[in-house]
Amino acid sequence: MFGYSMAEIGNVFVMQGFSGLSLFSVLLLMALGLAIIFGQMGVINMAHGEFMIIGAYATVMLSKFAVKYDFVNYYFPFAMIVAFGLAFAVGYLVEFVLIRHLYKRPLDTLLATWGLSLVMQQIFRSAFGAKEVSAELPEWMLGSFKPTPDIDIPINGVFVMGLTALITAGVFLFMFRSRWGLRVRATVQNRVMAGAVGINTKKVDRITFALGCGITGVAGAAFTTIGSTGPTSGSLYIVDSFMVVVFGGAASLLGTISSAFGIAQAQSILQFFMTSSMGKVTTLLTIVIILMMRPEGLFASKIRK
């Protein structure tokens, strides 16, 4: 078939399947934090990418530290915790200083967080320099895993997939099985009523926002295994993140997951059969057409209007 043996085609099929799954987990990880902030709170956070970069820089810095004191093989889990903590703290602060004054003006949050993203980019540039840097990866994360001699499954891809599964499960448990999640959902559905039954809605807002930022920070840490980190790298992720969340239907986590899956598979398969740029264009066009027919996205929550 086309001058390739069946075995070759089979191998590529496996690897291609994996690359689709890997793209899926990357998109999902990117979008999870945004799904919480935008989906649950309705805040358009244009500084989403920069929160990711906080996590990425934390990882890079820790990796330098790890190289110095010779614990490169173990630092990564630690780095993710630090990334989460830092992004969470900054998110908490940003909510307190900026976002909470703007809940009733959603378009103003767009402008304010965009400004915030510019400020953060310049802070990164001043603090870490304009050049892109890379984290020193632990040995076990490099190279590929080979079930047969001709199939290579990148280990860092497997790592990101595992992490995504873990975090997604965590977010689900948090949102649907914990008291906090209950309060968050109550606040989203009816703020006044939630307040009336004794939920501190302001605190819920702050924690939810910070949590979304924290998860975004972990995503940033994970992405140091794939790409590089620079002051403006965050802007690379913002479009894809919004695309996934909006396409999935803003208020639904399940929607975010299925939209990430759909976009990733479509893009991955199309890019294999067409050129890269055409694959991307076709995917985007399809999304636009679907959104024209279903403006609420794939999984719209059923609300009576």
Question: Is the CB of 189 or the CB of 275 nearer to another protein?
Answer: 275
Q: Which of 96, 92, 125, 115 is nearest to 44 (CA)?
A: 115
The DSSP code for 131 is S
| Binding range to another protein, per CB under 8 A, among 14-22, 51-59, 106-114, 290-298 | 14-22
- Specify whether the backbone of 12 is left (phi greater than 0), alpha (psi in -120 to 50) or beta: alpha
Cα separation, 122 vs 61, in Å, equals 18
Q: Which of 21, 99, 36, 46 is nearest to 248 (CA)?
A: 36
Judge contact between 208 and 215, C-beta under 8 A: no
Question: Is the CB of 23 or the CB of 163 nearer to another protein?
Answer: 23
Restricting to residues 114-173, name those near another protein by CB under 8 A: 122, 125, 129-134, 136-137, 142-144, 146, 152, 154-157
Q: Which two tokens stand for residue 97?
A: 């200083």
Which listed residue (212, 217, 262, 279) binds another protein by CB under 8 A? Answer: 279
- Beta carbon of residue 54, minimum distance to another protein (angstroms, whole number): 17
Cα separation, 58 vs 36, in Å, equals 22
284 binds another protein (CB under 8 A): no
What's CA 185's distance to the chain center, in Å? 21
- Beta carbon of residue 34, minimum distance to another protein (angstroms, whole number): 17
Cα separation, 188 vs 251, in Å, equals 9
Q: x/- contact string, 193-232, with another protein (CB under 8 A)?
A: ------------------------------x-xxxx-xxx
Question: Is the CB of 26 or the CB of 43 nearer to another protein?
Answer: 26
- Beta carbon of residue 148, minimum distance to another protein (angstroms, whole number): 12
What Rg value do the Cα atoms of the chain yield, rounded? 20
- Beta carbon of residue 56, minimum distance to another protein (angstroms, whole number): 11
- Beta carbon of residue 233, minimum distance to another protein (angstroms, whole number): 6
18 binds another protein (CB under 8 A): yes
Question: Is the CB of 19 or the CB of 208 nearer to another protein?
Answer: 19
Question: Is the CB of 87 or the CB of 135 nearer to another protein?
Answer: 135
Q: Which of 99, 88, 70, 69 is nearest to 221 (CA)?
A: 88
Question: Is the CB of 144 or the CB of 178 nearer to another protein?
Answer: 144
Judge contact between 84 and 218, C-beta under 8 A: yes
Question: Is the CB of 190 or the CB of 275 nearer to another protein?
Answer: 275
Cα separation, 143 vs 121, in Å, equals 32
- Beta carbon of residue 48, minimum distance to another protein (angstroms, whole number): 16
262 binds another protein (CB under 8 A): no
Q: Which of 26, 230, 224, 231 is nearest to 135 (CA)?
A: 224
Cα separation, 75 vs 53, in Å, equals 18
Restricting to residues 36-95, name those near another protein by CB under 8 A: none
Question: What does the binding site for another protein look like in residue numbers (CB under 8 A)?
Answer: 4, 8-9, 11-12, 15-16, 18-20, 22-23, 26, 122, 125, 129-134, 136-137, 142-144, 146, 152, 154-157, 223, 225-228, 230-233, 235-236, 267-269, 271-272, 275-277, 279-280
